[in-house]
């Protein structure tokens, strides 16, 4: 493995591990290329029903690899964003499967942005978020100006993006940036437990829920009510809804097929 990404598929759960611990899993061109390819491939695989994104070693991801930026053939920043970072964030939101970010240490710059672009975020007690962009004279990118205020509201978004102090795991949970904090040694097991729960859900309904939550940001209440009615009308006809009702009646766990 030379691209710095480890992909492991275990049943319906795929785990993507950013694996350059010597550089705190900082993002290089090969790693970003591999991550985008993996998201495309796993996103199209109906047997995969949930993804986990985490980092190897003691960090989640330190953002852009700054050593790589110093090389003469580094693409201009705008190109790097348009061609590599933005497609990754778009893919994370476009795929039907939910993504659990297991934040196992520092998440800085675009590394924090990747965590923000996941569906569910859980953190180890020693995790911390640093919007390191300002320190190097840049603006938050890879979706952070969009995701962050939606996750934590304008006051904390400004704290993180403008003041830039590290936010520890406990604070992250308090402000809604992560939904739970667990001891480091339990993080992957907890992420897997959540992913397995997501994977046991009715895939079409899970996908519709993921996309409806995103779409709601640009909808009125009326538009959301309409969209929900339309979706529910469609899902009400699905084999998985019938299976869910039958399983409830029979007092057993449902077995959803994504139809
Ligand atoms: C690293 C990095 C790193 C390479 C630690 N690169 N080696 C998008 C478009 C294109 C370009 C520009 O940017 C963007 C978006 C962005 O992501 S901008 C933000 C880029 N990231 C940063 O500015 C964070 C830089 N890193 C840090 O501030 C610190 O390393 C943090 C606060 C993350 C962690 O601090 P420590 O826990 O004290 O670890 P450390 O600094 O000692 O790092 C350990 C090693 O990892 C060290 O290498 P060494 O060989 O000395 O042991 C660092 O050089 C390396 N490393 N971040 N981004």
Q: Decide whether any atom of ligand 1 lies within 6 Å of the 63 Cβ.
A: yes
Take residue 159 and report the two structure tokens written for it.
């704290």
Q: Indicate if ligand 1 lies below 6 Å from the C-beta of 109.
A: yes
Distance, C-alpha 163 to centroid of its chain: 24
- CA of 126 relative to ligand 1 center, distance in Å: 17
Strand-pair partners of 8? 15
Query: Residue 93: what pLDDT?
Result: 98
Q: How far apart are CA 83 and CA 67, in angstroms?
A: 19
In whole angstroms, what is the distance from residue 239 CA to residue 258 CA?
8
How far, in Å, is the centroid of ligand 1 from the Cα of 65? 7
- pLDDT band, residue 2 (cuts 50/70/90): confident
| Pocket of ligand 1 contains residue 64 by CB under 6 Å | yes
**Best residue among 22, 23, 24 to mutate for probing ligand 1, ranked by most atoms within 8 Å of CB:** 24
pLDDT of 112 higher than 80: yes
Q: How far is the CA of 53 from the centre of ligand 1 (A)?
A: 19
For 52-81, what is each residue's pLDDT tens digit?
A: 999 999 999 999 999 999 999 999 999 999
Distance of CA 38 to the CA centre of its chain: 14
Using an 8 Å Cβ cutoff, are 222 and 131 in contact?
Answer: no
Nearest ligand 1 atom, CA 65: 6
pTM confidence score: 0.97
What are the φ and ψ backbone dihedral angles of 225, each rounded to 5 degrees?
A: -60, -45
Tell me the mean pLDDT in the region 106-130. Answer: 98
- In this predicted structure, what is the pLDDT of residue 59? 98
Tokens at residue 245, please?
A: 């009702």
Q: Is 23 in the pocket of ligand 1 (CB under 6 A)?
A: yes
Q: Mean pLDDT over residues 141-164, rounded?
A: 96
> 79 in helix, strand or coil?
helix
Residue 132: band (very low, low, confident or very high) from pLDDT cuts 50, 70, 90: confident
d(CA 133, CA 162): 9
Given a cut of 60, whether residue 1 has pLDDT beyond it is: no
Question: Token match 């930026």: residue?
Answer: 69
235 lines ligand 1 (CB under 6 A): no
What is the average per-residue pLDDT within 32-36?
Answer: 98
Residue among 12, 35, 206, 14 at smallest CA distance from 114: 35
Residue that is written with structure tokens 């090389």 in the block:
71
Please give the share of the chain, as a percent, with pLDDT higher than 70.
Answer: 100
With a 6 Å cutoff on the Cβ, whether 60 touches ligand 1 is: no
Residue 26 CB–ligand 1 contact under 6 Å: yes
Q: Which residue has the tokens 């890879």?
A: 142
Q: Residues of the chain with pLDDT > 90: what percent?
A: 96
DSSP character for 139? -
Contacts of residue 121, defined as CB under 8 A and 6 or more positions apart, other chains included, come to 100, 101, 103, 115, 177, 178, 179
Tell me the backbone φ, ψ of residue 157, rounded to 5 degrees: -60, -40
pLDDT at 44: 98
- Among 160, 60, 62, 58, smallest CA distance to 101 is for 60
d(CA 91, CA 134): 26
């Amino acid at each position: 493995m030379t691209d710095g990404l480890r992909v492991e598929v275990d049943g319906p759960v795929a785990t993507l591990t950013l694996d350059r611990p010597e550089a705190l899993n900082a993002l290089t061109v090969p790693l970003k290329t591999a991550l985008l390819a993996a998201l495309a491939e796993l996103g199209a695989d109906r047997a995969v029903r949930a993804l986990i994104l985490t980092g190897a070693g003691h960090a989640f991801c330190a953002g852009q690899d700054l050593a790589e930026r110093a090389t003469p053939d580094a693409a201009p920043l705008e190109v790097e964003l348009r061609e590599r970072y933005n497609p990754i964030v778009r893919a994370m939101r476009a795929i039907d499967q939910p993504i659990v970010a297991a934040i196992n240490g520092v998440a800085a710059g675009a590394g924090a942005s990747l965590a923000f672009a996941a569906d569910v975020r859980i953190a180890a007690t020693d995790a911390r978020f640093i919007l390191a962009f300002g320190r190097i004279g840049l603006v938050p990118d890879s979706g952070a100006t969009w995701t962050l205020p939606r996750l934590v509201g304008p006051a904390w978004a400004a704290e993180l993006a403008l003041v830039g102090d590290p936010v520890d795991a406990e604070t992250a949970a308090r402000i809604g940036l992560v939904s739970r904090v667990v001891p480091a040694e339990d993080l992957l097991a907890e992420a897997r437990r959540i992913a397995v729960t997501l994977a046991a859900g009715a895939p079409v309904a899970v996908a519709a829920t993921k996309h409806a939550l995103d779409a709601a940001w640009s909808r009125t209440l009326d538009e959301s009510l309409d969209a929900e009615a339309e979706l529910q009308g469609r899902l009400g006809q699905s084999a998985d809804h019938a299976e869910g009702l039958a399983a409830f009646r029979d007092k057993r766990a449902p077995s959803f097929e994504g139809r």
